[in-house]
C-alpha cells in the first residue's frame, strides 16, 4: 500500500510517500518539502497573510500532483501550530482546498505530542521502558511521557524555534529575558510530567533537535537512520555560548544547519537547553521518526 503523509508545519511543508507493509516499517518512496515559514507570515492579529496562504496553497497543489504521479492511494494531510492558532484558520483551509482539492485536517497540540510519542515508541520498542519525548517544532514544543504506546501526559507549549525569534524581535526583549520566559513556561509543566518518576529513556526528535545534535558533533544524516545519535547537555551549553553572538551567516556555516533555519537556532538552543536542565537530562537520544510517522502508524493500525 502506497500512502502519502502531508505535514504542514510552522516552518516547512513536507510530503512523505511511503510503501507500507503489514509487520514491517514504512519504506520511504518519495519526499517533497518546501520552507513555507508560516510562523513568520502572520500579521499583527495572528492571521496568516494572503501571501503566506498563496505560498501554502501553491505548495499543497504541487504536493497533491506529486502524490498522484507517484501512485499514492491516499494522502493524510494535516496542519499544526501556525495554521491551528491563526485567526483565519477557516480561510486558510478553504483557500488551500480550492487550489489543490485537498482539505487539511487541523491537528491539536496534544495530539501532535501523542502521535510523535507513538512514533518514538515504535522506533525504540518496549525495551525502552518509560519514555520522555521532546519535539521542538517551528511553532511549538511538544512533550510526552509514558510507559505504553499512549503517553500518560502529552502537552504542547508555544515555544517553537520559528515562533520565538518573531516574538523576541516584535517585543524588543533581550536574549536574557527570552531565556527566562522559556524557562518559566517549561517549568510550569515539568512537575506534572515528572510526577510519576524519571524516564528510562529520554528522546528528542524533529529537525531542530537533529540540527543541534549535528552542530554538537553527531553523525550526519548521510550515514543513515540507524546510526546512534545523541545530544549532550554539556555540548549544548557550549554551543549556546557560541550562538549568543554568532551572526546568521556564521550559524548557517555550521554542520547540519540550512540557511533558512539559521536565524532560528539561537531560540531552538535555548528551548533545548532549558528542557534538558529542567528535566534533569544529561543526554537526549535522537529518534529519526517523528510526527509524520506517528500519523501514518495510527492510520495503519486502524485499517
Whether pLDDT at 168 is above 80: no
Are 234 and 90 in a shared domain?
no
Are 84 and 129 in a shared domain?
no
Are 103 and 115 in a shared domain?
no
Which residue, among 238, 239, 244, 214, has the nearest Cα to 227 in the 3D structure? Answer: 214
> What are 9's three cell numbers?
508545519
CA torsion through residues 201, 202, 207, 210, sign: negative
pLDDT score of 169: 66
Are 160 and 268 in a shared domain?
yes
Is residue 50 domain-resident?
Answer: yes
> What does the pLDDT look like over 125-144, one tens digit per residue?
999 999 999 999 999 999 99
Whether pLDDT at 29 is above 80: yes
Mean pLDDT of 273-285: 97
CATH code of 54's domain: 3.30.420.40
Are 10 and 114 in a shared domain?
no
Find the range with the poorest average confidence among 119-123, 162-166, 233-237, 280-284: 162-166
Is residue 296 domain-resident?
Answer: no
Last residue of a domain, one of 52, 87, 107: 107
Distance (Å, whole) CA 142 – CA 158: 9
Are 47 and 149 in a shared domain?
no
Are 133 and 20 in a shared domain?
no
Cβ atoms of 80 and 124 within 8 Å: the answer is: no
Is residue 303 domain-resident?
Answer: no
Mean pLDDT of 167-177: 81
Number of domains in the chain: 2
Are 169 and 48 in a shared domain?
no
Are 35 and 182 in a shared domain?
no
pLDDT score of 40: 82
Last residue of a domain, one of 62, 86, 107: 107
pTM for the full predicted model:
0.95
Are 88 and 177 in a shared domain?
no
Q: How many CB atoms lie within 10 A of CB 69?
A: 10
**108 confidence band (pLDDT: 50, 70, 90):** very high
Is residue 203 domain-resident?
Answer: yes
Are 61 and 116 in a shared domain?
no
Whether pLDDT at 170 is above 80: no
pLDDT score of 102: 96
Whether pLDDT at 22 is above 80: no
Q: Measured between alpha carbons, how far apart are the two ends of the chain, in Å?
A: 11
Last residue of a domain, one of 107, 139, 155: 107
Whether pLDDT at 64 is above 80: yes
Cβ atoms of 275 and 236 within 8 Å: the answer is: no
pLDDT score of 125: 96
Give the structural domain span for 270.
109-291
> What does the pLDDT look like over 197-235, one tens digit per residue?
789 999 999 999 999 999 999 999 999 999 999 999 999
CATH code of 132's domain: 3.30.420.150
Check residue 227 and give left, alpha or beta (phi > 0: left; psi -120 to 50: alpha): beta
pLDDT score of 267: 95
The pair phi, psi for residue 56, each rounded to 5°, is -65, -45
> What does the pLDDT look like over 287-296, one tens digit per residue?
999 999 999 9
H or E segment and range at residue 298:
helix 291-302
Cβ atoms of 96 and 102 within 8 Å: the answer is: yes
- Three-state SS string over 160-175 comes to CCCHHHHHHHHHCCCH
> What does the pLDDT look like over 238-252, one tens digit per residue?
999 999 999 999 999
Amino acid at each position: 500500500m502506497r500512502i502519502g503523509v502531508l505535514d504542514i508545519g510552522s516552518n516547512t511543508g513536507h510530503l512523505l510517500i511511503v510503501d507500507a507493509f503489514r509487520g514491517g516499517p514504512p519504506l520511504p518512496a518519495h519526499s517533497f518539502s518546501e520552507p513555507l515559514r508560516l510562523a513568520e507570515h502572520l500579521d499583527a492579529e495572528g492571521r496568516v497573510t494572503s501571501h503566506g496562504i498563496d505560498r501554502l496553497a501553491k505548495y499543497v497543489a504541487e504536493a497533491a500532483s506529486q502524490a498522484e504521479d507517484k501512485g499514492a492511494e491516499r494522502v493524510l494531510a494535516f496542519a499544526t501550530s501556525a495554521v491551528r492558532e491563526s485567526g483565519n484558520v477557516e480561510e486558510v483551509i478553504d483557500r488551500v482546498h480550492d487550489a489543490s482539492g485537498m482539505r487539511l485536517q487541523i491537528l491539536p497540540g496534544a495530539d501532535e505530542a501523542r502521535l510523535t510519542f507513538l512514533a518514538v515508541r515504535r522506533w525504540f520498542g518496549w525495551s525502552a521502558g518509560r519514555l520522555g519525548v521532546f519535539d521542538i517544532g517551528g511553532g511549538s514544543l511538544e512533550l510526552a511521557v509514558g510507559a505504553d504506546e499512549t503517553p500518560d501526559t502529552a502537552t504542547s507549549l508555544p515555544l517553537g524555534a520559528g515562533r520565538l525569534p518573531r516574538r523576541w524581535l516584535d517585543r524588543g526583549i533581550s536574549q536574557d529575558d527570552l531565556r527566562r520566559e522559556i524557562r518559566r513556561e517549561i517549568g510550569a509543566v515539568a512537575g506534572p510530567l515528572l510526577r510519576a518518576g524519571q524516564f528510562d529513556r529520554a528522546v528528542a526528535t524533529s529537525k531542530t533537535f537533529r540540527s543541534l545534535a549535528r552542530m554538537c558533533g553527531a553523525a550526519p544524516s548521510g550515514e543513515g537512520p540507524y546510526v546512534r545519535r545523541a545530544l549532550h547537555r554539556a555540548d549544548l551549553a557550549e554551543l549556546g555560548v557560541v550562538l549568543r553572538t554568532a551572526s546568521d551567516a556564521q550559524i548557517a556555516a555550521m554542520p547540519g544547519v540550512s540557511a533558512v533555519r539559521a536565524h532560528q537556532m539561537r531560540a531552538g538552543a535555548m528551548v533545548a537547553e532549558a528542557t534538558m536542565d529542567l528535566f534533569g537530562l544529561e543526554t537526549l537520544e535522537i529518534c529519526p521518526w517523528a510526527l509524520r510517522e506517528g500519523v501514518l502508524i495510527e492510520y495503519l493500525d486502524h485499517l
